[in-house]
Amino acid sequence: MEKSLNWREFIITRLIKASGYSAIIFVALIFVFLLREGLPTLGEVELKSLLSIRWYPIEDYFGILPLITGSLIVTLGAALIAVPFGIGTAVYISEIAPRWMREILKPLVELLGGLPSVVLGFLGILVLSPYIRILLDLPTGLTALTGSLLLGGIAVPTVVSVAEDALDAVPRAYREGAWALGATRWQTIWRVTLPAARSGVLTAVMLGVGRAIGETMTVMMVTGNAPVLALKLGSLFSPVRTMTATIAAEMGEVANGSTHYHVLFFIGMVLFLISLGVNIAASSVVFRAKKRAERILS
């Protein structure tokens, strides 16, 4: 009896350990694969060509700058939409809405987060882009702005969900303390609740931005896919092409092992590094906040 129990314990512990390690191993393998397929690019394409502004792989023009700027401008636009809206919604749900409203809104927002991005892209093509074309009098409605609006929509639920949790975790006593001092509801939110939930709200923003950078399907459908360098504000109203959309659109048709193939993986590496950067920034913010709290509590 005693013995078999120990034995079971042993197996279960090992299984859990193995599944934990496998997650790390998978990520490492993916990274190794990316490096193996992407790094040959540096031998095949000159750095100068890689950093040029012309992406036309059929004639061996592999300038990835338009793709990077395309991704950045769409993501930046999305962040500008998702951050204020997301935090605003989170504040409304957690601080202002009556209880019945909160119970409707929270699941609704989370449901929105589960919406397949292809469905959003579909809505973008059929509804949003004609509207934008007419409203702004553009030659096409498939622009960076369209992508930003939709990506913003995709990132909002992430921001709301995480930020709301963070606000909810602020002790009620903080709010009561401020109210008792004669602070209005708004003053309490702005000066007490939000600063107290700062690290959680920052995490929410980072996760939302991360979600936007990595999003593929929607942007491929609505941004027009023109690899044009997007540096001016006006670029927001013209078609762009993101890194994710490029990989998704071209990977299926590329000759295995060709330069083009390697460059696509190289783009994947760049994307990976950007996401990694965002994630590290997010966790370092949280980590710093935690360390600070620990220092204070000790």
Partner 1 sequence: MVDKIIIENLSLQYSDGTESLRGISLNVREKAVTVLFGPAGGGKSTLLRCLNRLNDLTEVRTSSGRILIDGENVLDPKVDVIALRRKVGMVFARPVVLPMSIRENLTYGLELAGEKRRAKLDEAVERSLKLAAIWDEVKDRLDDPAIALSGGQQQRICLARVLALQPEIILLDEPTSGLDPISTGKVEAALTELKKEYTIILVPHSVQQAARTADYAAFFLQGELIEYDEGKTLFTTPKDKRTEDYVTGRFG
Which residues would be at the binding site for partner 1 (CB under 8 A)?
A: 99, 171, 173-184, 187, 191-192, 195-196, 296
Q: Which residues pair with 240 in a beta bridge?
A: 224
Indicate the residue among 46 and 176 with the shorter CB distance to partner 1. 176
Indicate the residue among 58 and 173 with the shorter CB distance to partner 1. 173
Indicate the residue among 184 and 258 with the shorter CB distance to partner 1. 184
Indicate the residue among 110 and 165 with the shorter CB distance to partner 1. 165
3-state secondary structure the chain: CHHHHHHHHHHHHHHHHHHHHHHHHHHHHHHHHHHHHHCHHHHHCCHHHHCCCCEEHHHCEECCHHHHHHHHHHHHHHHHHHHHHHHHHHHHHHHHCCHHHHHHHHHHHHHHHCCCHHHHHHHHHHHHHHHHHHHHCCCCCCCHHHHHHHHHHHHHHHHHHHHHHHHHCCCHHHHHHHHHCCCCHHHHHHHHHHHHCHHHHHHHHHHHHHHHHHCCHHHHHHCECCCCCCCCHHHHHCCECCHHHHHHHHHHHCCCCCHHHHHHHHHHHHHHHHHHHHHHHHHHHHHHHHHHHHHHHC
Indicate the residue among 92 and 174 with the shorter CB distance to partner 1. 174
Q: How far is the CB of 167 from partner 1 (least distance, A)?
A: 13
Indicate the residue among 122 and 174 with the shorter CB distance to partner 1. 174
Q: Which two tokens stand for residue 275?
A: 């996401």
Q: How far is the CB of 24 from partner 1 (least distance, A)?
A: 36
Q: Which residues pair with 61 in a beta bridge?
A: 56
Q: How far is the CB of 60 from partner 1 (least distance, A)?
A: 57
Q: How far is the CB of 288 from partner 1 (least distance, A)?
A: 14
- The rounded distance, in Å, linking the Cα atoms of 87 and 259 is 44
Indicate the residue among 76 and 196 with the shorter CB distance to partner 1. 196
- The rounded distance, in Å, linking the Cα atoms of 141 and 127 is 10
Q: How far is the CB of 186 from partner 1 (least distance, A)?
A: 11
Q: Under a CB-based contact definition with an 8 Å cutoff, are residues 212 and 75 in contact?
A: yes
Over its C-alpha atoms, the chain yields an Rg (Å, rounded) of: 23
Q: How far is the CB of 160 from partner 1 (least distance, A)?
A: 22
Q: How far is the CB of 191 from partner 1 (least distance, A)?
A: 7
Indicate the residue among 4 and 298 with the shorter CB distance to partner 1. 298
